[in-house]
Amino acid sequence: MTNNACFAPQRVLFEERALDYPLGRSLWERFRKEDKEVRVIGSHNRVTGLPGKDPAEKFKEAKRTLVVGVKKEGEFAKCRPSADFQLVLSTSCPGMCEYCYLHTTLGRQPVVRLYVNVEEILERAEKVIKDRAPEETVFEGAATSDPLPLEPYSGALAQAITFFAKQEHARFRFVTKFTCVDSLLNLKHQGRTEFRFSVNTPEIINRFEHGTPRLTARLQAAAKVFQAGYKLGFLVAPIFLYDGWKKSYEELLLEMKDTLPAKAAPSFELITHRFTARGKQNIAAIFPSSELPLSEEERRFKYGQFGYGKYVYTKEQYQEAERYLSEKINVYFPSAEILYFV
């Protein structure tokens, strides 16, 4: 994927309750006019009957499936270190990155889900904001998905951005690998939304990030976002320590500097590669030819914030990467802020 294309699902499944909402009904009418499979299901959490003779094929079909559902009420999940809470507007995404952490939580059939009750979700967020005021509350809109490819159908990001523009004690942030940003450029965001792009070296993108725009297209979209006045950030993730990684990540920073306006001072979030035992099993099933570095013997085991363990780089590797990348970011973006390195 090299252009501004977002997501064109091959089949669309509607949770029955979603048809009680205006967005659900309008999407139902829209997709029924197109040459797609459209049908009603009982729950967005239970999708069966997708085609595919093996896990790899079923995975690809899940990524081509849009489920229109209703997000149930519940407490907002914590989202450290990115934000205070997750603001779940969608689940999964059409990208097929081999390393994705959602392989652990969503399993082998991660259908793409959007939620039609965005107003209700934002009303609940407003209550949390008021309860915590005057403390500032930060919501992350991409903890369980890349929401941008669904924006032409849901309009959820536009709703969230304009909602947070009116919140004195809250901010919104989300991250994407996609480039269909034009519908969000003219919104009155009042500087309350941080628009971030997930980037990596061309080697990593080309080998492991299937179905996503290439690096140059992402950086060009980031330049548009900056010109629209949004706070701009970059998620450099996952950072892989392969032969020649230092040269590759420095070249990434150089291309970023050359593409962005000279006055850009983006934030950086740096996340080293990690994997879980369950994620490794799912990756082996859905990407049987994967060349991801998943040797448990070469990593150290660490428990994460959600109660399950993961395999991360050794302390020595971690410290070397943090030192080197921090130094290079300071060279190419001396005014930038490194929010965290994990």
Q: Provide the whole-model pTM.
A: 0.94
Amino acid at 241: L
Q: How confident is the model at residue 78 (pLDDT cuts 50, 70, 90)?
A: very high
Q: How confident is the model at residue 95 (pLDDT cuts 50, 70, 90)?
A: very high
pLDDT at 5: 53
Most confident of 4-8, 109-113, 319-323: 319-323
d(CA 334, CA 23): 45
d(CA 331, CA 326): 9
Q: Is 167 helix (H, G, I), strand (E, B) or coil?
A: coil
CA distance between the termini of the chain: 29
Mean pLDDT across 96-104: 91
pLDDT at 45: 82
Report the candidate in 153, 164, 154 with the shortest Cα–Cα distance to residue 189.
Answer: 164
Q: Which H or E element spans position 114? A: strand 112-115
Report the candidate in 234, 225, 112, 111 with the shortest Cα–Cα distance to residue 179.
Answer: 225
Mean pLDDT across 251-280: 96
Q: How confident is the model at residue 101 (pLDDT cuts 50, 70, 90)?
A: confident
pLDDT at 307: 63
Own/partner contacts of 165-170, CB < 8 Å, gap of 24 or more, are 165/189, 165/190, 165/192, 165/193, 166/190, 167/126, 167/129, 167/192, 168/133, 169/129, 169/132, 169/133, 169/134, 169/135, 169/136, 169/137, 170/125, 170/129, 170/136, 170/137, 170/138, 170/139
Cite the DSSP H helix spans in the chain: 22-32, 55-63, 102-105, 118-132, 151-154, 156-164, 202-208, 215-227, 245-259, 277-286, 315-332
User: Which residue did the predictor score with more confidence, 215 or 4?
Assistant: 215
pLDDT at 331: 97
Buried/exposed 15-38: b ≥16 CB within 10 Å, e otherwise: bebbeebebbeebbeebeeeeeeb
pLDDT at 133: 97
pLDDT at 260: 98
Asked if the model's pLDDT at residue 3 lies above 80, the reply is: no
Mean pLDDT across 80-88: 94
Query: Does a cis peptide bond (omega within 30 degrees of 0) precede residue 152?
Result: no
Pairing mode of beta strands 209-210, 231-239: unpaired
pLDDT tens across 276-311, in order? 999 999 999 999 999 999 999 999 999 866 567 999
Asked if the model's pLDDT at residue 231 lies above 70, the reply is: yes
Q: Which of 107-111, 227-231, 241-245, 314-318 has the lowest mean pLDDT?
A: 107-111
Q: Which of 44-48, 81-85, 126-130 has the lowest mean pLDDT?
A: 44-48
pLDDT tens across 13-48, in order? 999 999 999 999 999 999 999 988 999 999 888 888
Mean pLDDT across 178-203: 98
Asked if the model's pLDDT at residue 4 lies above 50, the reply is: no
